[in-house]
Amino acid sequence: MPIAISPEHVDLADSVRALVARVAPAEVLHEALETPIPNPPPYWKAAAEQGLQGLHLAESVGGQGFGILELSVVLAEFGYGAVPGPFVPSAIASALIAAHDPNAQVLSGLAAGETIAAYAIDSGLTATRQGDALVIRGEVRAVPAAAQASVLVLPVAGLDSATSGAEWVVLDADTLEIEPVQSVDPLRPVAHVRANAVEVGDDRVLSNLSRSAAHALMSTLLSAEAVGVARWATDTASAYAKIREQFGRPIGQFQAVKHKCANMIAVTERATAAAWDAARAIDEVARGDSDLEGAHIDFAAAVAATLAPAAAQRCAEDCIQVHGGIGFTWEHDTNVYYRRALVIAASFGRAADYPQRVVDAATATGMRGIDIDLDPDTEKLREEIRAEVAALKAIAREERNTAIAEAGWVQPHLPKPWGRAATPIEQIIIAQEFATGRVKRPQMGIAAWIIPSIVAFGTDEQKQRFLPPTFRGEMIWCQLFSEPGAGSDLASLSTKATKVDGGWRITGQKIWTTGAQFSQWGALLARTNPSAPKHNGITYFLLDMASEGVEVKPLRELTGNAMFNTVFIDDVFVPDDMVLGEVDRGWEVSRNTLTAERVSIGSSEPPFLPSLDKFVEFVGEGHFDQIEQNRAGQLIAEGHAAKLLNMRSTLLTLAGGDAMPSAAISKLLSMKTGQGYAEFAVSSFGTDGVLGDEQTPQGIWAQFLLASRATTIYGGTSEVQLNIIAERLLGLPRDP
């Protein structure tokens, strides 16, 4: 998904994409590599007519009155098109001025496209006070679009207390010495700027703009452009991998290329989620919902800045690699985008600063909450749900689960009577209100993956028999899918079901069956038609675990515990009425279950695994050098963004979209990052990392580390997730 996910934002992105395709096709980009870009560039007027320069500016200065999120949608599309010229620097500069004073006079020209602005994130400028004036001296190096701008927003050291500790001033270009210098990206010109005793009044000081607020704005908007570059690189590499043939087949069919492209979209999606949330955080401030000085705003922006420029550079590099030799040529578009990725990354300043900011904000004041903006019109619905949750809390604890189950609160997205047919917005509110009201819903465990399949494919009798006790938490389920010879390649299962009078006789062996020793029922896949293609001829059964011939043997795993089991099924009779769905059509039913499983795994943090909250607490209580803090900040950023990605993909899932590809990305990223938490912690103990006593921090984290090795295996290995992402999300060809 791009930054735009709401219908209004999708429409905005579409309109900007159409403009970019029209005014900045590939031939224009390559021409700009050789020939200086006119100032203003040819598209400037068209963009102004579309209102893009003033999209985020107040209507009082001729803007459209939208926010930073809308501007981020636009900048991502400009990044996708590698649009030449000063549009992005000018937009960032105008956002800085507007954050100080939305009615500043200079903004009228910027909103109309009559004025071009530039900005810098670092500088060597200093200020001294002489009477009523500030005298600015020094040099700012490598300022994007400085030679094209008539107004520059620059940081200045030494501003005194009369300016409220502000650091940014607005300077006119004609008062400065501007020296154009060669840029790595000729489409994004830069210049050194020198101020030789330039006098300005206090009215030119952005006194309402703090350093943290300025950095949040700059890094968020740069992140938006960066994810546009990353998305272009991912799309272009994938498209090429579909058509380029080597060794008699498309290179996208080779797993090495397929996995490279899948990793590209994974890091792009994660960075996009972070940029989206950082923009939302700033807009919440503008609406008065939070404080611009707050660490949560700094945290969100630092997460985006940690992930987005790295994603742009990595994906641009991988795009060149997928293209091979042609990707290294001057004529290919990869040249344009790699240069843009490098310049964007440099525009953030020191890359190591941002993971440090993530650590500082997370450990000092906490991470930004994972919340979804809801329309004020939903408040009436929230009040109704809150009242119902309060009524449930008043019920005696021994009766409460029954009331919750019967009212459809356990899985409210399901159709009535099993759920509440809740819309995505309703589900969000329900989850929030149960959490804030401290009312626990029955825990479904693995049943949460199986229930949707029973609802979708079960008979009325099956639904009535199994769903009510399961919703009450009284019926425990296990999933009998994997076999010794059919794990990730589940369709190769060999458990055999033979038709007999009144039912089926089933024989086989299942493995890695979580909680089988505690389960009353199991969801079982068995082959009913051995002559059919392997994805056909499979049937989905509901198995009574107390049946004669079922033997459960706990499988002690690497941790020393026995969460998994081997289940032997020896000529077990299963009646016809325990077939779920149609005979020989069990793969369709299992896909429903596996989709639910991957959504759950991607969004949950079981207590036996390291979590983001546990990791932040660990980092906050320890003492780490700069290298360790940088790594910790990277992991926190990745973990937080994976949660954001899951929230965004959940919106798609609950609205009826195909969950499996997005869920595969969520699982791939969150499980790998979770392993990183434990690896970091254990490595920080030094020689004490050998201690295994679970009453000590060393032993707790050692156990987390041991347990985490399973997370990139169960529910589909990371390698299988990469195949799913590449084939179903990017459309790369399947293995022969």
**What proportion of the chain, given as a percentage, has pLDDT over 70?**
94
pLDDT band, very low/low/confident/very high, at 289 (cuts 50, 70, 90): low
Instruction: Point out the least confidently predicted range of 111-125, 277-291, 342-356, 586-600.
Output: 586-600
Mean per-residue pLDDT for 244-259? Answer: 94
pLDDT on residue 596: 52
Confidence of residue 161 (pLDDT cuts 50, 70, 90): very low
pLDDT of residue 68: 96
Q: Which residues contact 499 (CB under 8 A, 6 or more apart)?
A: 528
Domains located in the chain, CATH noted: 7-116 (1.10.540.10), 126-204 (2.40.110.10), 376-442 (no CATH), 452-592 (2.40.110.10), 602-729 (1.20.140.10)
pLDDT digits (tens, 9 = 90+) for 689-698: 999 888 899 9
How much is the average pLDDT of 447-459?
92
For the chain, percent of residues with pLDDT exceeding 90: 71
Q: Confirm if 110 and 104 have CB atoms less than 8 A apart.
A: no
pLDDT at 600 over 50: no
Reply yes or no on whether the pLDDT at 172 is more than 70. yes
Cα angle 182-184-189, degrees, rounded to a multiple of 5: 55
The secondary structure of 72-93 as a DSSP string is: HHHHHHHHHTT--SSHHHHHHH
Report pLDDT for 601. Answer: 42
383-395 mean pLDDT: 93
* pLDDT in the model for residue 554: 95
Residue 131 in this model has a pLDDT that exceeds 90: no
Mean pLDDT of all residues belonging to the chain = 90
Query: 569: which 2 tokens?
Result: 């099924």
Evaluate whether 93 touches 153 at the Cβ level (below 8 Å).
Answer: yes
Q: Extract the tokens encoding 426.
A: 């309703």
The pLDDT, as a whole number, for residue 165 is 54
The mean-pLDDT minimum among 90-94, 142-146, 197-201 falls in 197-201
7 or 601: whose pLDDT is higher? 7
- pLDDT tens sequence across 626-676: 999 999 999 999 999 998 887 777 666 555 555 555 667 888 899 999 999
519 Rama class: left (phi>0) / alpha (psi -120 to 50) / beta: beta
**How would you classify residue 438: left for phi > 0, otherwise alpha for psi between -120 and 50, otherwise beta?**
left
**How far apart are alpha carbons 156 and 164 in whole angstroms?**
13
549 vs 158, more confident: 549
